[in-house]
Amino acid sequence: MAKIRVKNLLLRTYIGFNPEELINKQDVIINLEIEAIIPEEALLADEPDGIYNYKTITKKIIAYVQEGHFKLLEVLTQNLLNMIMEDERVVWAKVEVDKPHALRFAESVSFEMEAHR
């Protein structure tokens, strides 16, 4: 078992329900923690056969977020967590999605959710 962290994935998407947010993309910053089963043979051989490939899930998330339209930050966060948990090799995962500049006077606002199998 190992914990994979994808840190500060900076993407742009439609996020929010204010009129201007419905038509203008905004930055979101995504942080992932994923506890996944590591195949013993991959460790022994130092080969990627059967590994939980962190690039695969990251690219899937990039495509989903950049092509999506979301009103609630909690919906985007929950959907990303569900996507990660679809893989049976994932034992536990935590997702935090920041919406920087969303609140006047605040550096950022985020939702954090986690799930375990």
Ligand X SMILES: Nc1nc2c(c(=O)[nH]1)N=C([C@H](O)[C@@H](O)COP(=O)(O)OP(=O)(O)OP(=O)(O)O)CN2
How many residues comprise the chain? 117
Q: How far is the CB of 49 from ligand X (least distance, A)?
A: 11
Return the number of other C-beta atoms located less than 10 Å from residue 71's C-beta.
14
Residues 38-57 that bind ligand X (CB under 6 A): 51-55
Q: Which residue is nearest to ligand X (CB)?
A: 55
Q: Helix axis angle, 73-85 relative to 54-67, nearest 10°?
A: 150
- Interface with ligand X (CB under 6 A), residue total 5
Residue owning tokens 């930050």: 73
Instruction: Check binding of 66 to ligand X (CB under 6 A).
Output: no
As measured in angstroms, the least distance from the Cβ of 58 to ligand X is 7
Fill in the per-residue mask, 77 to 96: x = in contact with ligand X (CB under 6 A), - = not in contact: --------------------
Tokens found for residue 112: 């954090």
Work out the number of other CB atoms within 10 angstroms of the CB of residue 18. 9
Give me the residues that bind ligand X (CB under 6 A), please: 51-55
